[in-house]
Structure 1
Amino acid sequence: MPLIITALGILLLLTMIMKFKINTLITLIVVSFVLGLALGMPINEIIESVETGLGGTMASTGLIFGFGAILGKLIADAGGAQRIAMTLIARFNEKWVQWAVILTSFILGIALFFEVGLVLLIPIVYQIAKQTNISFLWLGLPMVTALSVTHAFLPPHPGPTVISAQYGANIGLVLLYGLLISIPTIIIAGPLFTRYAKKFVPTAFEKAAEGSIAKLGDAKQYKLEDTPGFGVSAITAVFPVILMGLSTIFTLVKDTMGIGDSFFFDMIAAIGAPSMVMLLSLLLSLYTMGIARGIPMESLMKSAEGSVKAIGMLLLILGASGALKEVLMDGGVGDYVALIFEGSTISPLFLAWLIAAVIRVAQGSATVSALTTAGLVLPLLADTDVNLALVVLATGAGSVIASHVNDTGFWIIKESFGLTMKETFATWTILETLISVSGLVFVLLLSLFV
């Protein structure tokens, strides 16, 4: 029954948005309450779940998106995004610019959280699309593919890092095997799928930058000599990567050498937290893209205010999607899925993928589905000689399948690229499923050799 109720709730949500054109924010909150009641939750617990889910999502993404939007807008308004775009176009001709975007996204995605990568890269990719007169989504889909693949398979992202510890897998092998799996998966779900998607939903590829984050890159155009240098522009844009990368390296050294906690490492961990990373990067951009160029603080703050206004509705929608996810979790949907697979004798690699996939579809969060799966699969690994690093990757692959309305990422992509519900399903949802299935196939192939 919980799965049937969830399916009916999703159908109600789609009907309200697509048929009756009700605002997404209002729809998400209404459906959260309806689902809570249908799952048998007391009304006071539903209210608490909605508030907890909304607050938790805003706490984890609000500052990241807020500071990231300001950072992106400052870089765009100063001409830094234009400089980065033009330099990439000059180094890679127009034919290969999509691959330049993929390579950049993959490198940045290894160190950056999915949300951070989006708010940093979308304005720059928009500029590249504008300069080359290429469809924004033609470049955008491969970009989000690279970010999603690194999120699913590669440490130091939360899912693969935590479940590596839970399974007792060697995190170095997880990273090595993850890289081997990531490259062909990105090619399949990125540029290859984008070609077919353009035939299936041509309207999505004909749009200008209607999304809230994309508009951050829609700034005044400068003569190239009047823009900041490529070096300072690139360092400002990738400064979050530098901070997160250094923090990760110090933490790995600390854990590997068994060094105890200290004020120094506490400071390193604090600096590497996503919200702090974005704040420090924003402060740097105020100097490099503003003060150093003689731009008055008043103008910089005007850009900052405009950028936050542009993503205001996006932030509320993300919070509401977190409320829906919390209601599904508190309503026992994930626990019900766990019971279905209890005592299963399927191959550990396929079972890890399948459980993670079903939980993901039922409750939305990739990280939650990966962590829940680890707890369910772990007891089944005791009497097997399966490669634990591959179990981590199979779990990660399952955890990203079929992103839809109960996933915060679905709404991020929809609002960021200005897509309709139908276009988001036909692009992002299928793309995530391709990543999941391709990941499983490559894990099973790799298991024949390691």
Structure 2
Amino acid sequence: MPLVAVGISVLVLLFLMTRLKLNGFAALLLVAVAVGLVQGIPAAKIPDVLSAGIGDQIGDTMLTIGLGAMVGRVMGDSGAAQRVADRLLDAFGHQRVQIAMVVTAMLLGVTMFYEVAFVIIVPVAFTIVRVSGKNLLWVGLPMSIALSTMHSFLPPHPGPTAVAASFHASVGVTLLYGLFIAVPLGALIALLWPRLPFVRAMNPSIPKGLVSERVFTDEEMPGMAWSLSVALFPVVLIAGAAVTDMAASGSGPLLGAVAFAGAPPIALLLTLLLAAWAFGPRIGRSLSEVAASCASAAQAMAMILLVIGAGGAFKQVLTEGGISGYIKDTAHGWPISPIILAWLIAVILRVALGSATVAVVTASGVVLPLLSGSGVHPEVMVLAVSCGSIAFSHVNDPGFWMFKEYFNLSVVDAIKARTTYTTVLAILGLGGVLVLEAALDALNV
């Protein structure tokens, strides 16, 4: 049974990494090869499958994470990150730093991918931890939870947008409805989870090389206007492109230029160029010092990218093994509410494959025939599928490894922190979707 193979592979991977202390990159590749053989993938084809999985994952994330890390390190080594962190602490106070992280993450996360927003905000979070002395998860976990919620629940992120197209749902209405669910639920879990005893027991250190360890005086730091402008520059480009894409139709040179500049890799590359000048020659730092900051960030990112790539290889082997088709065939015709069915299939696929995008696309294909005669609002169905796709993030999810490596956690602690919060968000999201559908029916909307 395919799902049994998935379960066993996860247990083996945990054993290799926790008991035998095998490197995550090697462990993921080893288990991926074994799963491929068990699933019947020809041995000669497995290297190509691994390469395809690594290529797809690294292609999606390397530019974003690499450029984002360089921008963050340039800001950190110049004192700009500390300037922003100090201003946030002044505005919200040390006791409300989590609220500052949630508000920042939600504002950026509405239009920005999880990975992009993460690498933009995390240098500030690291700096706040270093300056304030607070626990890394106390500051960073609310940020990650808020970003996960925005990315998984709302268009224009890839999963919800793809499902909205399948269901012929309005992207704008889906975003409006989704905000009523995502904002309160995301804020609740973001503020609650760091306070749970099993999370408070974790006290990871900031990974080496991703943030400057120097404490700057006020005179040494760049001004707030430049520091904040550079930090927000990619946000403006990416958010502007997303809003333009939703609001405008057709094509033309101007729309093409906006889409080009708003693509995350291009936006971050332009931001790096701006940061190199603004926090380099403009304030008396040489370009060689800026280059050293970029090189330090790249070295620190090497193992993180390898592990994320191997996570993509593991996901690809599971996909090639036909698990999504097996689940789709098994679930078809289950006599339950279309909303719950859509959510449940997305959850099962997420657990089995790790890919939220595959989960939502496959789940939407299963329930699409049921939508026309069900009377369920298509926008509500989009949210049902989308919130199911956030559940049970674990070792076959490349985002899990990004979370683990940036917060310097063991595999077990990463499961305790991330797998639990993603699962609770999915369950509460389903409840919110059911309440929303009932309210719309009562109002005859």
Counterpart CA distance in 2 for 1:217 and 1:108 is 21
SS at match of 2:185: helix
Q: Does 1:246 align with 2:240?
A: yes
Aligned match of 1:99: 99
Counterpart residue number, 1:418: 408
Deviates more, 1:217-226 or 1:44-53: 217-226
The residue type equivalent to 1:24 in the other structure is: G
1:252, distance to aligned residue in structure 2 (A): 2.0
Q: State how far apart, in whole Å, the 2-side matches of 1:80 and 1:155 are.
A: 31
C-alpha distance in structure 2 between counterparts of 1:313 and 1:207, whole Å? 18
1:268 aligned residue:
258
User: 8 Å contact 2:102–2:187 — kept in the other structure?
Assistant: no
C-alpha separation in 2, matches of 1:428 and 1:331:
26
Structure 2 match to 1:53: 53
TM-aligned CA deviation for residue 201 of structure 1:
4.1
- Matched AA of 2:2: P
| Cα shift readout 1:179-237 (whole Å, capped 9, x = no counterpart) | 100122113321112211xx124442x2321x36xx42233211123211112111111
Q: Which residue of 1 aligns with 2:218?
A: 224
Cα shift readout 1:397-420 (whole Å, capped 9, x = no counterpart): 100101000000110111110001
User: Which of 190, 197, 200 is matched with 2:198 structurally?
Assistant: 200
Separation in 2, partners of 1:268, 1:44: 44
Unpaired stretches in structure 2, ≥5 consecutive residues: 441-445
User: 2:428: which partner in 1?
Assistant: 438
Residues 1:36 and 2:33 are matched in the alignment: no
Q: Is the 8 A contact 1:123 1:218 kept in 2?
A: no
Distance in 1, Cα, partners of 2:277 & 2:361 = 41
Equivalent residue number for residue 293 of structure 1: 283
* CA RMSD across the alignment: 1.2
Q: What is the deviation of 1:290?
A: 1.2
> Quick one: distance in 2 between partners of 1:190 and 1:249?
26
1:48-79 CA-partner distances (Å, limit 9, x unpaired): 11010001111110111111110000011110
User: Which of these residues, 391, 407, 424, is aligned with residue 401 of structure 1?
Assistant: 391
* 1:78-98 deviation per Cα after TM superposition (whole angstroms, max 9, x unaligned): 101100011111111112111
Provide the residue aligned with 2:346 in structure 1.
356
Aligned to 2:366: 376
1: CA distance between counterparts of 2:175 and 2:99?
Answer: 22
Distance 1:111 1:288 in 2: 26
Structure 2 Cα separation of the partners of residues 401 and 218 of structure 1:
34
Cα pair distance change 1:445/1:75, threshold 3 Å: same
Deviation at 1:112, TM superposition (A): 1.4
CA distance in 2, matches of 1:87, 1:262: 41
Correspondent of 2:230 among 215, 221, 236 = 236
Supply the distance in 1 between the matched residues of 2:45 and 2:324 (Cα, whole angstroms). 17
What's the counterpart of residue 316 of structure 2?
A: 326
Verify: 1:314 aligned to 2:304, yes or no. Answer: yes
Q: Residues of 2 paired with 1:99 and 1:390: CA distance?
A: 29
| 1:156 aligned partner | 156
- Counterparts of 1:37-186 in structure 2, within 5 Å, are 37-186=37-186
Q: Retained in 2: the 8 A contact 1:81–1:217?
A: no
| Cα deviation 1:222-260 (Å, max 9, x = unaligned) | 1123211112111111211100111122222322xxx3x
Partner SS for 1:218:
coil
CA deviation map 1:325-344 (0-9, x unaligned): 00000100111111111122
1:12, distance to aligned residue in structure 2 (A): 1.0
Alpha-carbon deviations, 1:8-49, whole Å to 9, x = none? 111111111111111110011111100000001101222111
Q: Secondary structure at the match of 2:45?
A: helix
Shift of 1:167: 0.6
Superposed CA offset, 1:76-131 (max 9, x none):
11101100011111111112111011101110111211111111111101111222
Deviation at 1:346, TM superposition (A): 1.1
Structure 1 stretches lacking a partner, 5+ long: none
Alpha carbons 1:124, 1:217 under 8 Å: kept: no
SS at 1:119 equivalent: helix
Post-superposition Cα deviations, 1:350-379, rounded to whole Å, max 9, x if no partner, equal 111100000000000112211111111111
Q: Answer yes or no: is 1:427 the counterpart of 2:420.
A: no
Which amino acid in 2 is paired with 1:243?
L
Q: 2:201, 2:339 → 1: CA distance?
A: 39
Q: Which amino acid aligns with 1:141?
A: L
**What secondary structure does 2:131 align onto?**
helix
- What amino acid maps onto 1:200 in structure 2? F
Q: Report the 3-state secondary structure (helix = DSSP H, G, I; strand = E; otherwise coil) of the residue aligned with 1:70.
A: helix
Residues 410-438 of structure 1, C-alpha deviation per residue, up to 9 Å, x if partnerless? 10111110001111111111011111111
| Counterpart-to-counterpart distance in 2, 1:191 and 1:417 | 17
Question: What CA distance in whole angstroms lies between the structure 1 residues aligned with 2:276 and 2:199?
Answer: 40
Residues 166 and 374, structure 1, Cα contact 8 Å, conserved in 2? yes
Contact 2:68–2:268 under 8 Å retained in 1: yes
CA distance in 2, matches of 1:438, 1:130: 33
Matched residues, percent identical? 37
Q: Which residue of 2 aligns with 1:341?
A: 331
Which residue of the other structure, out of 287, 305, 314, is the alignment partner of 2:295? 305
For the residues of structure 2 that align with 1:291 and 1:249, how far apart are their CA atoms? 34
AA partner of residue 211 (structure 2) = G
The worse-fitting range, judged by mean Cα deviation, of 130-139 and 69-78 is 130-139
The letter for the 1-side match of 2:162 is V
Q: 1:148 to 1:226 in 2, by over 3 A?
A: same
